[in-house]
Homo-oligomer: A and B are copies of this chain.
Amino acid sequence: MSLINTKIVLKKRPNPSVTEDLFEKITDDIRDLVADEFLVEVIYLSIDPAMRGWISSVGNYSEPVPLNDPMRSFGVGKIISSKNNEFLENEFVVGWLGWQKYSIVTSKSIQMKIPSNEVPLSANLGVLGLNGITAYAGLVDKCCPKEDDTVIVTTAAGSVGSAVGQIAKIYGCKTIGLTSSNEKKLICINDFKYDEVINYKEVNDISSELKKIVPGGIDCFFDNVGGIQFDQIMENLNVGARVVICGTIGMPSYPIPSGPRINRTLLIKRAKIEGLLVLDYFDRYSKIYEKLSRWFKEGKLINKEDISEGLETAPQSLIRLLEGTNLGKQLVKV
């Protein structure tokens, strides 16, 4: 094997912000494959908010990325050589490939072979990838939306949020999105077909705004943010509401911030809140993928992408994502 690999490795942990100097580009030789391994040429990388947690020193649901290892990342790629009978040259896969040009993996790192079903390769990292699976799991499985339910989503234009909004429409729900700019608000309305969208930076008080636009209250709440947006939406729950916590990007991780206690709201509204981790759904990945790709081909789910060119742009893309300046699923074309 005479290929040279390029990797972006983690050199330091955030303190507390995520900056480009946490990462370093290195090159090295690619070693020979051993039994069961195969070599994947990485084509697209998925940039995700969860990366903020992965590079912190505090383990949460997954171990911290070790220093000097390539940054953990989901990606799609093409198998270019293999010592595994089930993963053959020229097949495409989606899985944990890392921020690098080539990835030596076993089946354990692979989520799925990409079926040749004529969807664009990059969509497998967006609405047909982790983001779509997350949206489906949180909305359909945890929030159990019924026709005519009112569903509210934070980071409504984001890659998870926009999939939630679209799937909720497929289920016949009224959809309300919260987003951070008028540019994103337009995308929410025109592309993702939300019924109502609030640019939370332009309203004084989300709670009163919601009382105006959805006086009937909220049945399902898919939250990616936490903090004040969470608090104000919680004030508008209906009896029997279902809330899923998918992310907390609007809250500092440590020290644990304070906020209004929600015990009495949960009690009075007999509401349910549940945390969602998409890793728990990996055994159902292919089944959920089938549903999502059917909707995608029927035009009911669209995929918006914000693609950055070149592996070396990965750290900057992550920062853009955490700042919320990306428009659509943040990807890196390697």
Q: Which residues of B contact A276 (CB under 8 A)?
A: 267, 270
Q: Is A246 an interface residue (CB 8 A)?
A: yes
Which B residues are CB-close (under 8 A) to A223? 263
Question: Considering only CB atoms, which chain B residue lies closest to A230 in the complex?
Answer: B263
Q: Which residues of B contact A268 (CB under 8 A)?
A: 60-61, 275, 277
**A261 to B, closest residue via Cβ:** B259
Q: Is A88 an interface residue (CB 8 A)?
A: no
User: Shortest Cβ distance from A65 into chain B, in angstroms?
Assistant: 16
- Rounded to whole angstroms, the CA-CA distance of A273 and B267 in the bound complex is 10
Give the shortest distance, in Å, between A14 (CB) and chain B (any CB).
16
Partner of A267, one of B245, B264, B265: B245
Look across to chain B and name the residue whose beta carbon is closest to the beta carbon of A264: B248
Check A274–B266 contact: CB distance below 8 A: yes
User: Would you call A258 an interface residue if the criterion is a C-beta within 8 Å of the partner chain's C-beta atoms?
Assistant: yes
Closest to A277 in B: B270
Tell me, yes or no, whether A35 is within 8 Å of chain B by CB.
Answer: no
| Cross-chain contact of A264 among B251, B258, B266 (Cβ < 8 A) | B251
Please pick, from B260, B261, B266, B274, the residue contacting A270 in the complex, using a CB distance under 8 A.
B274
**Interface mask (A196-238 → B, CB under 8 Å = 1, otherwise 0):** 0000000000000000000000000001001100100000000
Answer whether residue A66 sits at the interface, using C-beta atoms and an 8 A cutoff: no
Residues of chain B within 8 A of A258, CB atoms compared: 258-261
B280 adjacent to A275 (CB under 8 Å): no
* A113 in the interface (beta carbon within 8 A): no
Instruction: Judge whether B246 and A267 touch: CB under 8 Å.
Output: yes
A262 to B227, CA, bound (A): 10
Counting contact residues on chain A (CB < 8 A from B), the size range is 35 or more
- A19 at interface (Cβ–Cβ under 8 A)? no
User: Are B245 and A251 in contact, with the CB atoms below 8 A?
Assistant: no
B residues within 8 A CB of A253? 264
Known contacts A267-B277, A272-B273; is A251 also within 8 Å of B246 by CB?
no
A257 CB–B CB distance under 8 Å: yes
Indicate if the CB atoms of A256 and B267 lie closer than 8 Å.
no
**Of A265, A266, A271, most B-chain CB atoms within 10 Å:** A266
- Determine whether A247 belongs to the interface, using a CB cutoff of 8 Å to chain B: yes
In contact, A266 and B251 (Cβ under 8 angstroms)? no
Task: Give Cα distance in the complex from A258 to B258, angstroms.
Answer: 6
A154 and B208 CA atoms in complex are apart in Å by: 35
Given A245-B266, A266-B245, residue A261 in contact with residue B256 (CB < 8 A): yes
A83 within 8 A of B: no
- Within the assembled complex, what's the spacing in Å between the Cα atoms of A247 and B266? 10
Query: Does any Cβ of B come within 8 Å of A12's Cβ?
Result: no
Residues of B within 8 A of A274 (CB): 266, 270-273
Interface centre among A251, A257, A267, A271 (most CB of B within 10 A): A267
B251 near A263 with CB under 8 A, answer yes
Q: How far is the CB of A282 from chain B (nearest CB, A)?
A: 13
Collect the chain B residues with CB atoms within 8 Å of residue A260's CB.
256-258
Question: Please, which residues of chain B bring their CB within 8 A of the CB of A277?
Answer: 267-268, 270
A269 interface residue (CB < 8 Å to B) = yes
